[in-house]
Chains A and B, each alone.
Chain A
Amino acid sequence: MVVGEFGKEVDVLVIGAGPGGYVAAIRAAQLGKKVTIVEKDKLGGVCLNVGCIPSKALISAAHKYELMNDDQGMGITAENVTVDFAKVQEWKQGVVQKLTGGVETLLKGNNVEIIQGEAIFVSEDEVRVNRGYESERLKFNHCIIATGSRPVELKPFPFGGRIISSTEALALKEIPKSMVVIGGGYIGIELGQTFAKFGTKVTILEGENQILPTFEKQVAQLVQKNLKRLNVNVVKNAMAQSAEQDENSVTVTYKVKDKEETITADYLLVTVGRKPNTDELGLDMAGVKVNERGLIEVDEQCRTSNERIFAIGDVVAGPALAHKASYEGKIAAEVIAGEPSAVDYKVIPAVVFSDPEIATVGLTEAEAKEEGYEVSVGKFPFAANGRALSVNATDGFVKVVANKENGVILGAQVVGMEASNLIAELGLAIEMGATLEDVALTIHAHPTLGEMTMEAAEVALGQPIHMVK
């Protein structure tokens, strides 16, 4: 069937139903717009289907299994603890389905029209949506591009068979006996550590001289220590060269300095980064400018070089994080609805769900100094916090970095249990322009991990209670 020449007219067209796209669609609908969302795969996008949610589900299952096998000195022992990995996967999939079902309910509840298909621009105000053998044309007043990203594929390691990306790693049917991970960034560490906890013999090949190279050394070291405990082999300064696979295994060749090594494993997981899905969208037809890295150029209102088209999330510059995409989604929708919104955040928190967890927001000590600040720094260890001791999680610290001149908090790094939740307070503190004193004078409940934020501020002010200077 050729549906043709006359495009159906839609008001706001959102391409992609990930955390950026579906939030944009809902906010636009809230503001009275008639919205159509096009998704080629599944609602919820990468985050809900093959990213944030399934990875965190697997991480928590692995952690539970690890704890059951570890007395931890608390006097609790278990025997014959087993993992039914098929059930683990089923449970994980159930979590994913609940959430993606929730997204569908929210979209429908906001009267957003959902179209399944792949959208490609054919002009400055029109897309063709392909769905199998059918296609239709949609003419839009405004459009929001939220097509996300995909794993980077390295030439010597094409995905397929035993060479897998994060997507396949999350969907493995059984626990591999062994796995090599290329890339010690947050995805490689999260997945590598998770499988190590399930019993996989994991080797991580990292090109830099530390894992998690975008984080401070002290931070990475705590994760490194835990990886060692899990018998993960971390090879730094390793340059992966090639891989050969047969039906049952894959052999990876890598170089450390000039020495060539090989290693054979069940799977090779390649997690060296993600690239924006902007190459098959017909952006040139739409007059939308893309930079040399494939990222769409936008102004502070998320508007592209075509004034009726907006872009958000992983297809634009900035960290490829779900919460950034959602934030931008709301901005784009509000601008389309005539509000004077703009991207205006001081900081975006970033979290690694490693063990221990890592969470950072704002400037590190080194970055603050580079920007010319004289800094006050306060660091408080988990080992001196009552709650951390009572949950047997004494590895880690809370560190705050402030402007020495006026005490205004510039950044924070948290490593340890619940770092992912602890960072929220510090993000708010920075957005509010809070000082060390503001945080130190705020009563934090006892006994909680959150008290460490207050104490780190007190350390920076030179008057900690639970630490001798």
Chain B
Amino acid sequence: SGVPLAVPSVRRLARELKVDLREVAGTGKHGRITEEDVRRYAQAREQL
């Protein structure tokens, strides 16, 4: 299914940073989204 792989704490962080996990490219195994991935995405967005 289309639900990205991310552990509960990363999913919570994504909500806090208003990051849509579907737009994040996961760098972990099987495309898992890491905490780093979420923070990097949020930072990059701010620089736009």
Chain A interface (Cβ < 8 Å from any Cβ of B): 340-342, 344, 346, 371, 406, 408, 431-433, 435
Q: Interface 1/0s, chain B 1-24, versus A by CB < 8 A?
A: 101011110011001101000000
Q: Are A342 and B1 in contact (CB under 8 A)?
A: no
Using Cβ atoms and an 8 Å threshold, which residues of chain B touch A346? 3
Q: Are B6 and A433 in contact (CB under 8 A)?
A: yes
Q: Are B15 and A340 in contact (CB under 8 A)?
A: yes
Q: Lowest 3 CB-CB distances: which A-B pairs, in order?
A: A433-B5, A340-B15, A406-B30
**How far is B39's CA from A274's CA once the two chains are assembled, in angstroms?**
44
Q: Are B15 and A433 in contact (CB under 8 A)?
A: no
- 18 chain-A/chain-B pairs, Cβ below 8 angstroms: A340-B15, A340-B16, A340-B18, A342-B15, A344-B8, A344-B11, A344-B12, A346-B3, A371-B1, A408-B30, A431-B7, A431-B8, A432-B7, A432-B8, A433-B5, A433-B30, A433-B32, A435-B30
Using Cβ atoms and an 8 Å threshold, which residues of chain B touch A342? 15
**How far is B8's CA from A341's CA once the two chains are assembled, in angstroms?**
12
Q: Are B7 and A344 in contact (CB under 8 A)?
A: no
**How far is B6's CA from A340's CA once the two chains are assembled, in angstroms?**
17
Nearest residue, chain B, Cβ from A431 = B8
Contacts A408-B30, A435-B30 given; does A341 touch B7 at CB 8 Å: no
Distance in Å: Cβ of B6 to nearest Cβ of chain A: 7
Contacts A371-B1, A408-B30 given; does A433 touch B16 at CB 8 Å: no
**How far is B25's CA from A309's CA once the two chains are assembled, in angstroms?**
36
Q: Are A433 and B7 in contact (CB under 8 A)?
A: yes
Using Cβ atoms and an 8 Å threshold, which residues of chain A touch B8? 344, 431-432
Q: A344-B8, A371-B1 are in contact. List 14 more A-B contacts (CB 8 A).
A: A340-B18, A341-B12, A344-B12, A344-B15, A346-B3, A406-B30, A408-B5, A408-B30, A431-B7, A433-B6, A433-B7, A433-B30, A433-B32, A435-B30
Distance in Å: Cβ of B35 to nearest Cβ of chain A: 13
Using Cβ atoms and an 8 Å threshold, which residues of chain A touch B16? 340
**How far is B29's CA from A433's CA once the two chains are assembled, in angstroms?**
10
Distance in Å: Cβ of B8 to nearest Cβ of chain A: 5
**How far is B30's CA from A164's CA once the two chains are assembled, in angstroms?**
53
Using Cβ atoms and an 8 Å threshold, which residues of chain B touch A431? 7-8
Nearest residue, chain A, Cβ from B17 = A340
- Select one of B1, B3, B5, B15 contacting A341, CB under 8 A: B15
Using Cβ atoms and an 8 Å threshold, which residues of chain B touch A340? 15-16, 18
Using Cβ atoms and an 8 Å threshold, which residues of chain B touch A432? 7-8
For chain B, residues 25 to 48, give those with C-beta under 8 angstroms from any C-beta of chain A: 30, 32
